[in-house]
Structure 1
Amino acid sequence: MDSASVVVPAREEAAHLERTLDSLLGQVFDGELETIVVASGSATLAAAREHPVTDRVLVDERENGPGTARNRGVAAATGDLLLFTDADTVVPPKWVRRHRRHCATPSVVGVGGPLRPITDAVRHRLLFRLLSDWWYRVSWPVGFVQQPGCDCSARRSAFEAVGGFDESLPFLEDTDLSLRLRDEGLVVYDHTCPVETSARRQREEGYLPLFLAYFVGYLEYAIPGRSPTRAHFR
């Protein structure tokens, strides 16, 4: 698999996007790599268009959430391997290579990795380790796979077979995609492939309220005919 596309949704992220794109510019990858930014907000669009790593910028006219933006980016992408990260996230230099290495196993259709906070604050470091690494290590083996939207990838063939992200979900769209990808093959958790991402939501909302909101979302997702529709995540 020699071609890969990175899709970055960016809604009003001018202050953070350059740092994300800088990290993609430094990727150690021996195949064809393209970067597609799906953006809204004039300053964010300008930042995306001016950055040398960007191959294509799409205007996110619908502003219907990251799932819709990611689907639009995939529609314009050419890579056989699709990678997703966010505009407030920094990926390591071998991020694309580490995701691609799993594709050497034909049965693997998706990969997810852990999250680390960009901040050095000990509280965030510990809680991210617990909730965005060890939680995955426990839940993945029992079948509850949860590729985080800012550190995940999928084979194009599998992504298209399951219909991409469900645009009706205001959140948990990444978990939903992960669970549907399982119908096509193996979804792997690679604990050696972390990314650093913003802890602003955790700072603003608090870890406990976020945990409870996601817990309720998981329950709603698991009940037939229900979906996580809390306005908090719209």
Structure 2
Amino acid sequence: MSPDKAGTPDQSTTILSQMIHATGWRDRQSSYVQALDSLICMSAIRKPAISVVIISWQPDERALQTLLSLEAQRRTLSDTGQQIEVILVDNGSSNGFAPELYPHADTVLRLKTNTGAYFARNIGSIFAHAPILLFLEDDGLPEPDLVAAHLQDHARFDILMARGVYRPRTDSPLNRFAGHYYLGDNPFPRYCDLEGNVSILTAAFREVGGWDEAIFFGHGGVELSCRLLDRYGQPERMIYTPGPVLHHDYSSSEQHLTMKRERQAKSRAYVESKHPELDRILDTWNREYKQLQIPLRTPATSPAGVSR
């Protein structure tokens, strides 16, 4: 469906409701319908291998570069019989997406207001048709093989989630604060502390309820890791992996850094209130779980499902 043939508000609401019910998140019907401004289904990908969800609050040239990179990766992977589905969420931007962004996505949602990153990622995820979800920053530049690297990790390992690497996009001195962006050349069990380059089995993501929408900024990956651990009890199936690389700066300015830290502190306090043993869980992960062997995938543990 091209932009000039976008569905009416009633049609958009009907499609949204269908996807909500298919996902199993029926309790979110009211909040998602209320948040949706418009929905455009650009194209339908048959049996995609991976669905990429990108949200943007202030879309600019960097968002276009990210989408162009995914377009190139889509062509490369299609030669191997693997398809990428791209879901683009306008998280309440003032002017909406520029028309040149639309052709590079399969589904485009526009929300009425800035709902926070996790709400927007969740509502975008319900339109995914692939067994693997990939959440990607809109202002990061993916390496040409980022998507393939995520797919390779899920093909090799029997994992629930894989968080990749951030590399600096510029030589900003503020990048010195990003010690957790790159953690070495070898994969190991690790909770998610980067939410803009992380792939998750769709079935597991939906079963635990996705991202916590009460969080507005930061620590959503840690919180999601705790719920996945509670549900499956297998820390070795959540990993850090050096293969998928996204070029992304830690902060754009000193002022932005201050604001970022303030918001992260509030989110951390919320996560601690929800998971009172958070410090112990993360400490155990860093000291003990990281030594566990990552399980290899077998034909019986296809990424299409969730093995237990």
Matching residue of 1:231? none
What secondary structure is seen at the aligned counterpart in 2 of 1:191? strand
Equivalence map 1:83-98=2 (5 Å): 83-98=134-149
Q: After superposition, what is the alpha-carbon deviation per residue over 1:148-199, rounded to whole angstroms, capped at 9, x for unaligned?
A: 1111010011101111111111222222122222333411100232211244
Q: Retained in 2: the 8 A contact 1:21–1:51? A: no
Matching residue of 2:225? 178
Distance 1:106 1:154, change over 3 A: same
Equivalent-residue separation in structure 1 for 2:59 and 2:254 (angstroms): 17
2:63 counterpart letter in structure 1:
L
Q: 1:46 aligns with which of 71, 77, 98?
A: 98
Matching residue of 1:34? 85
Distance 1:213 1:98, change over 3 A: same
Equivalence map 1:83-162=2 (5 Å): 83-105=134-156, 107-121=158-172, 123-128=173-178, 130-134=179-183, 145-162=191-208
2:67 counterpart letter in structure 1:
L
User: 1:2 Cα shift?
Assistant: 5.8
Matching residue of 1:230? none
2:119 maps to 1:68: yes
Equivalent-residue separation in structure 2 for 1:50 and 1:214 (angstroms): 30
Matching residue of 2:67? 21
Which stretch shifts more, 61-70 or 196-205? 196-205
What secondary structure is seen at the aligned counterpart in 2 of 1:87? coil
Distance 1:113 1:41, change over 3 A: same
Distance 1:167 1:217, change over 3 A: closer
Q: After superposition, what is the alpha-carbon deviation per residue over 1:57-98, rounded to whole angstroms, capped at 9, x for unaligned?
A: 101224211111111111111111100012111111111111
What secondary structure is seen at the aligned counterpart in 1 of 2:244? coil
Equivalent-residue separation in structure 1 for 2:275 and 2:225 (angstroms): 19
Q: Retained in 2: the 8 A contact 1:36–1:55? A: yes
User: 1:205 Cα shift?
Assistant: 3.3
Equivalent-residue separation in structure 2 for 1:213 and 1:133 (angstroms): 22
Equivalent-residue separation in structure 2 for 1:81 and 1:189 (angstroms): 16
Q: Retained in 1: the 8 A contact 2:161–2:238? A: yes
Equivalent-residue separation in structure 1 for 2:101 and 2:121 (angstroms): 21
> What percent of counterpart residues are identical?
24
2:268 maps to 1:222: no
Q: Retained in 1: the 8 A contact 2:87–2:128? A: yes
Uncovered stretches (5+) of structure 1, i.e. residues with no partner: 227-234
Q: What is the CA RMSD across the aligned residues, in angstroms?
A: 2.9
Count of aligned pairs between the two proteins: 217
User: 1:42 Cα shift?
Assistant: 5.8
Equivalent-residue separation in structure 2 for 1:42 and 1:205 (angstroms): 20
